Amino acid sequence: MKRIAVIAVLVAAFVPLAAAVAQLPTFGEASNPTNTYLVPRYLQKGPEEAGAANVVTDVILNYRGYDTNGEVVVIFTALIAALATLLVRPKQMAATPPGDDAPRSPIVSFVVKAIAPFIAVFTVYLVLHGHLSPGGGFQGGTIFGALIILLSLTLGHKYGLSLLPERSRPWLQAAAVLAFIAVGLLGWALCGAYLAYPSYSQLEWVREGWLIALEIGIGVGGAAIFATVFWTMEAEP
């Protein structure tokens, strides 16, 4: 009986969804609204309306800002779920770092120390220039998180943990979510809607500053989450 009820609910949900999909414009046609209205609007008005010279940033952080806000919340929630599943204990991890007594190659350590500053500078460039050129918080955060993991593997677990102090680590992990909340509430207070941006041309620097704040939050939060997940998995027996 339960199986029949489940099947009936699925069919009832499938029929209107299938009917709606059947009425959508054919994918790839030049007459599609996405090609005749959305894309030209983004390319022509994006920098003026959204505040970034990079149209991709305009779409991700402005036109589609709610969706990106949801994405960073999902990523942060995944971190919480992973830590809860692995039953991580940060104090024990710091006290007994796994693998710190393993022999290391002096050549590998030297090479990593030599290239780490350049990787860090490149990460900062990606994050700060994401609103102007290809790059942004997601890309920069991924590279910086990988750098922290690389330093942990080559220079020791304790050294990696020192880059993200335990007291500030929860705030760094939530940096993306907090940045979106802060910018969203500022938009609500000053412009009347959550994640709204000032529309006046004189306030273009404000829009740009908010976009940079979001990029930094995404980058810092992403790097902290990637590194924490790695350390958690590394600590598992």
pLDDT higher at 220 or 24: 220
Q: pLDDT digits over 157-190, tens only?
A: 788 888 888 888 888 888 989 999 998 898 888 8
> What is residue 231's predicted lDDT score, i.e. its pLDDT?
82
Going from the C-alpha of 18 to that of each of 5, 7, 22, 23, 28, the distances in angstroms are 20, 16, 6, 9, 19
Q: pLDDT digits over 38-87, tens only?
A: 778 888 877 777 777 778 888 888 888 888 888 888 888 887 877 777 65
Residue 192 has pLDDT above 50, yes or no: yes
Q: Are 99 and 230 in contact (CB under 8 A)?
A: no
pTM here is 0.69
> What is residue 102's predicted lDDT score, i.e. its pLDDT?
58
Three-class SS state of 126: helix
Average pLDDT value over all residues in the chain: 81
Handedness of CA 142, 148, 149, 150 (dihedral sign): positive
Please, which pLDDT band fits residue 94 given cuts at 50, 70 and 90? very low
> What is residue 156's predicted lDDT score, i.e. its pLDDT?
82
Unique residue bearing structure tokens 């918080």: 137
Angle at 48 between CA 46 and CA 51, to 5 degrees: 80
> What is residue 52's predicted lDDT score, i.e. its pLDDT?
74
Residue 113 has pLDDT above 80, yes or no: yes
137 vs 196: CA distance, rounded Å: 20
Three-class SS state of 76: helix
135 vs 131: CA distance, rounded Å: 8
Q: Are 140 and 127 in contact (CB under 8 A)?
A: yes
Residues 6+ apart with CB under 8 A from 41: none
> What is residue 143's predicted lDDT score, i.e. its pLDDT?
92
Residue 147 has pLDDT above 60, yes or no: yes
